[in-house]
Chain A
Amino acid sequence: MDGVMGIMLLVDILGLGIVIFIVWWFWFYKSRAAIQKSDAAPVEITVADNVYHPARLALPSGQPIVLRFIRRDPASCAAQVQFASLAISAELPLDQPVDIRLPSLAPGEYSFNCQMNMYHGTLVIT
């Protein structure tokens, strides 16, 4: 009986660990920006396999930004990108580059996502 109790305790600890891991991994983890640029050249973002790549970009404030989206993902969810806080959205035709020109933004984080809020990305203005 003690053995079973021990296993159950182990399973509970494991389960709790997984829950903590989920919370940390999906909500609290702050990844380093994959792209850091200082020039005004377009930043290419690929939409493939359910993700924006890179999903986190760091760009300097005080200059216009060009984000070039290329959608490789045929799923209809990927067909649109939205920057809710900037009231910007764009259709992303498959395999066709689409440039989104943003004005110079104040420092802060600007998230972008697909129409159904399943693909997430963050633009960090430093």
Chain B
Amino acid sequence: MTVIDHHDATAPIRLSIGGMSCAGCVANVEKALRAVPGVTAAAVNFAEHTALVQGSVAAAQLEQAVIDAGYQATELAGADAEAEKEAAELGHYHLLLRRALVAGAVGVPLFVGSLLGMLPVLSISSGRMFWAVIGVLTLVVMVYSGRQFFTGAYKSFFAHNANMDTLIAMGTGAAWLYSMVVVINPALVPSLAQHAYFEAAVIIIALINFGSALEMRARSHTSEAIKRLIGLQPKLARVVRNGEEVDVAIDDIGLDETVRVRPGERIAVDGVVLDGQANVDESMLTGEPIPVEKHAGSDVVGGTINITGTFLYQVSRIGKQTLLAQIVEMIRQAQSSKPAIGRMADRVSSVFVPVVMIVAVLTLLLWLHLWSDVSYGIVTMMTVLIIACPCALGLATPMSIMVGVGKAAEYGVLIRNGEALEQSGRLTTVVLDKTGTVTKGKPVVSQVFNFGEWTEQQVLRFAAAVEVGSEHPLAAAILMAYQRSFEGLHAGESVSGTDLPALQSFESTSGYGIHAHIEGHTVVLGNQRLMELHKIDCSAVEDLVPELADQACTPLLLAIDQGLAGIIAITDPIKEDSIAAIQRMYALGLKVVMITGDHRVTANAVAAQVGIKDVFAEVLPQHKVDCVTRLQQAGDVVAMVGDGINDAPALAGSDVGFAIGGGTDIAIHSADVTLMRDSLHGVVDALLISRATLTNIRQNLFGAFIYNAVGIPLAAGLFYPLLGVLLNPMFAGAAMAMSSLTVVTNANRLRLFKVPAYK
């Protein structure tokens, strides 16, 4: 098991550091901090003049250590990681813009001047002097605006790595060096090749900085889903302490504390309602637009909004344990995973830069041989280095995944990783578990038939008396029906056990039912076979029992003193939107299969009601996975949709396991896709978003491959003999800067994706 630990177990201490003047000071301060006993890690941010220290240590000790080292230190309270990240990104964005501006300010006038023929020529000494000064000036600009490319290239080189910086540094470096050679000693190159390319070097640097800045901006939008979710959690909550309600910072709320929520307020952390009633908008987490009613005993989730009513709740989960925090973490993990579709691009990008370097060298040699032109050879080599863009390849998949996973979260669909997203987009078959997936999973009494002298309520009363201690779902339905048979009883109230007659004897026969003695009566409650066993005449209901089964009801027969007293028909109601969602699945061309352990008659009845044509009935839970495997063997890409608890093996065995009505830890951690909303529409939404994301990835990959496949030969001058076209290295710089930006912008287009409206 892997743990990604951001040191949250013990909160890190942030210090503001004063007196640092150079990068050397960073090392001194870090050394001083790390020497303090208990410190496990210390990192100084020179740009912000702050230090982040991890370990079991007091802030005062750290401050003293920094002061002893000759600097000042003060503890900064309330670190907000996301705000810090944004501030750092904004700072870097401005730096990139400044670098672009400085390089552009020098490069553009030079470019315009040479275009208009206003600049001195190299053939005269005063001209060479002018260009020498320009050479020094552009060197200064390159050091300021392009330093990061050169240091990056240098460090990468000695780590046996090559990346985009390597290409830019080599391209612009070659341009500057060649120009300087021409300026200092023109005789070294043929007269026709005596050109200086200083302006190209700085304009390329300007363009790439500018492109990076824009790309950074566009990138920040791709993680908006996370920001939106993090923003859901309020900073304060009204906690009841010592009988008084006080505002407490969210990090200071403890488990089991009592919190008051008023209308319009956001719920701070997860808990269970103790007192009060309210309607809570959970749409931000589940995508379910209708507010959910909450009363004593209901679970409430941090980040959701209380629309009406006031209530008190007891805190059950805080910090990283809250559902919101788990969702955020899952999305983060999913956003950083890669599906198989991106592996090809990964393989290419890992060898891309050295290949481009080789192509650049060969281009130079080819030009020297074919046209004996050093200048053009240098220009084409430089253009090849500059135009090649490994970043577009590298970005193509992750950017779309970032946006796609975030988009799914907006619809209450949590996708575990890129692989799950990719498979969701390729599904051909959806297997739906019946109970709790197609149906509500909470059986209710749909009809009560009474015979002889017994009334409907008496039938329910005896049945309830027999079932009162049972945990069987049918028992709960009977008890609920008995409760409801009393007028004026509200939801949440219950009939106490004393209202029901006590059992004098009790005998349960598994698979059949119960035989008991109550108030001097012999009571038998169960299926028809149990009645036959007790020789109870059921001829009067011979037709009714199969009729009920055809309606997807489970008939429970009740006999009192050897005479049939009633039939209680129990059904598991179909979810309101199951039919519409299943129609959407068929409309998308999917094969829909229902799987259940129920009797074939009941299963077929439910399937008919929701419009499902294929049914696997009487399947034991442990055999559901075999059905999934059979479908897979037939060539289907299969999704299994279940509650994530009873059908875990089938979820795991399918190509994509969907846990419906999630929000439970088990579901979030086990399923490939967790549907926060208790609706099958989530399956369709997930599929549509996945398909859109895959299309977006394909567009990006196609664009990135085509860009490089066309750009590099064009830059190498391959089309020169045919068309007489040679690419200007500055255009190559612009194209390169724009290529990554295009990929990020295309991925951002996914943010606008909307699942088509449905009824």
Contacts and interface: CB of A to CB of B under 8 A. Distances in A.
Given A19-B358, A99-B7, A100-B4, 4 more contacts: A15-B365, A49-B151, A94-B85, A98-B5
Contact of B338 (A15, A44, A75, A82): A82
Interface string A19-60: 100110111010100000000001010001111110100000
B160 A103 contact: no
Contact of A97 (B43, B156, B157, B162): B43
A52 B159 contact: yes
A28 B110 CA distance: 43
A52 B156 CA distance: 9
Contact of A11 (B3, B215, B368, B393): B368
Interface in A64-113: 68, 70, 74-77, 80, 82, 84, 86-91, 93-103, 113
Contacts of B155: 48-51, 53
A67 to B, nearest CB: 10
Contacts of B351: 27
Given A115-B398, A118-B390, A68 B161 contact: no
B349 A97 contact: no
A26 B162 contact: yes
Contact of B52 (A52, A96, A116): A96
Nearest to B401: A115
A119 B155 CA distance: 11
B163 A119 contact: yes
Nearest to A88: B2
B333 interface: yes
Most buried by A among B12, B161, B338: B161
A86 B486 CA distance: 60
B609 interface: no
B225 to A, nearest CB: 14
Contact of A8 (B50, B369, B391, B395): B369
A10 to B, nearest CB: 11
A53 B154 CA distance: 13
Given A11-B368, A25-B160, A27-B351, A116 B358 contact: no
Interface of B: 1-7, 12, 40-41, 43-45, 48, 50, 52, 54, 81, 84-85, 88-89, 91-92, 95, 148, 151-157, 159-165, 212, 215-216, 219, 332-333, 336-338, 346, 349-351, 353-354, 357-358, 361-362, 364-365, 368-369, 390-391, 393-395, 398, 417
B346 to A, nearest CB: 5
B338 A84 contact: yes
Contacts of A49: 148, 151-152, 154-156
Contacts of A93: 6, 81, 84-85
B333 A89 contact: yes
B152 A15 contact: no
Interface of A: 8, 11-12, 15, 18-19, 22-23, 25-27, 29, 31, 42, 44, 48-53, 55, 68, 70, 74-77, 80, 82, 84, 86-91, 93-103, 113, 115-120
B160 A8 contact: no
A91 B365 contact: no
Contacts of B336: 80, 82, 89-91, 115
Contacts of B393: 116
Closest 8 CB pairs of A and B: A116-B394, A50-B152, A118-B163, A89-B336, A95-B45, A49-B155, A97-B41, A99-B5
Contacts of B4: 88, 90, 98-101
B354 A26 contact: yes
Contacts of B395: 115-116
A80 B351 CA distance: 20
A3 B315 CA distance: 88
B38 to A, nearest CB: 15
Contact of B332 (A29, A91, A118): A91
Contacts of A27: 351, 354
A125 to B, nearest CB: 15
Contacts of B40: 42
B1 A103 contact: yes
B419 to A, nearest CB: 9
Contacts of B95: 74
Contacts of B12: 96
Contact of B398 (A18, A74, A101, A116): A116
A31 B157 CA distance: 12
Contacts of B48: 95
24 contacts: A15-B364, A27-B351, A48-B155, A49-B151, A49-B152, A50-B151, A51-B156, A51-B161, A55-B159, A68-B41, A70-B43, A87-B417, A88-B4, A91-B336, A98-B7, A99-B4, A100-B2, A103-B1, A115-B398, A116-B390, A118-B163, A118-B390, A119-B161, A120-B159
B740 to A, nearest CB: 9
A26 B5 contact: no
Contacts of B368: 8, 11
A50 B163 contact: yes
A34 to B, nearest CB: 9
B391 A118 contact: yes
B619 to A, nearest CB: 32
Given A95-B45, A117-B350, A50 B394 contact: no
B449 to A, nearest CB: 57
B43 A116 contact: no
B43 A95 contact: yes
A91 B413 CA distance: 22
A74 B7 contact: no
A91 B3 CA distance: 13
A11 B85 contact: no
A116 B349 contact: yes
Contacts of B152: 49-51
Contacts of A117: 346, 349-350, 390, 394
Nearest to B166: A50
Nearest to A98: B6
Nearest to A95: B45
B362 A15 contact: yes
Given A50-B161, A89-B333, A95-B52, A118 B394 contact: yes
A93 B84 CA distance: 9
Contact of B165 (A8, A50, A70): A50
Contacts of A51: 152, 155-156, 159, 161
B349 A118 contact: yes
A70 B1 CA distance: 22
A95 B354 CA distance: 30
A94 B2 CA distance: 22
A101 B358 contact: no
A79 to B, nearest CB: 9
A19 B350 CA distance: 17
A99 B43 CA distance: 13
B162 to A, nearest CB: 6
B335 to A, nearest CB: 9
Nearest to A52: B159
Contacts of B151: 49-50
A97 B364 contact: no
A94 B358 CA distance: 34
Nearest to A86: B2
Nearest to B1: A103
A89 to B, nearest CB: 4
A94 B54 CA distance: 15
Contacts of B1: 103
Contacts of A103: 1-2
A98 B365 CA distance: 47
Contacts of B3: 99-101
Contact of B365 (A12, A44, A119): A12
B361 A26 contact: no
Contacts of A91: 332, 336
A44 B45 CA distance: 17
